[in-house]
Amino acid sequence: MKKLVLIMLLAVTSQLSLFSQEIESTEFRLEKNAIQLNVTNMPISIALKTISNKRIASEISFGIAALNNDTKYDDYIVNLKLHYLLKRGRKTNLYTGIITGIEFVNDPTFDLTTPFIGINTQYEYFIGKKKKNSLSIDISYIYGKKTYRKSYSADWGSVEYVGTFENSPFWFGLGYSFYF
């Protein structure tokens, strides 16, 4: 597990250094904004996406998800993506970047928040000449884990337990964006 965290941190650090180089070398003027609807194997979310005139894009999203195996979409996820544009085609964009956020898990037996961090790749395809609409495919690898403590007391004594909530590591998603 330590190895995995180390690899993730290295990936994140390298991404951050790319961003910082880009931010330092360019003026951070905004070029495009979009609203994006994402359907993934984890959250169904709505995002506000901002693309700079150079190679930086950011995305902040709010989603609902069924995180604790009860099949109820009663958990919430807020996440932020920072993307670096790897390749720009006539109708396509290929991004890579980092994703971080917080999961709010709602469960009848415990209630906890789980921060997460990961790496993300997004392929975007624009529809139409005006490039107002696009479809995208997202793949993320996420690491997020949280321990929680529960106890029960009665006249015979008490019992205590430390459990672990671990989120699903892979997110696959399809998205639709409307640029305005």
Partner 1 sequence: MKKITLSIAMAAMLMLNLCSCEKDELLFNTDDISVKITEGENWIHDFPLFLGINLKNPPQFAIWIEDTDGNYISTLFATKKIATEGWVSNKGNRRKEALPHWCYQRGIFYDDGLLLPTKEEPLTDGISGATPIAGIELKISPENILDQLVIKVEVNHSTDFNKTYPKNAKPEDSNYSGGEEGSGQPALIYSSLIDLSPGQSEYQLDLIGHSSPDGTDGDIYQDLSGITSAIKIINTIIVKIK
Given the rule CB under 8 A, which residues bind partner 1?
5, 12, 23, 28, 30, 50, 58, 60, 68-71, 80, 82, 100-102, 107-110, 114-117, 144-152, 154-166
CB of 74 to partner 1, least distance (A): 13
CB of 154 to partner 1, least distance (A): 6
Q: Looking at beta carbons only, is 109 or 130 nearer to partner 1? A: 109
Residue 32: name the closest of 58, 52, 7, 16 by CA.
52
CB of 161 to partner 1, least distance (A): 5
Q: Looking at beta carbons only, is 12 or 42 nearer to partner 1? A: 12
CA-to-CA distance for 111 and 169, rounded, in angstroms?
Answer: 20
CA-to-CA distance for 132 and 94, rounded, in angstroms?
Answer: 17
Sequence-distant (6+) residues with CB within 8 A of 134 are 34, 124, 125, 126, 127, 176, 177, 179
Q: Looking at beta carbons only, is 110 or 125 nearer to partner 1? A: 110
CB of 142 to partner 1, least distance (A): 11
Contact 84, 97 (CB under 8 A): yes
Sequence-distant (6+) residues with CB within 8 A of 163 are 110, 147, 148, 149, 150
Q: Looking at beta carbons only, is 57 or 126 nearer to partner 1? A: 57
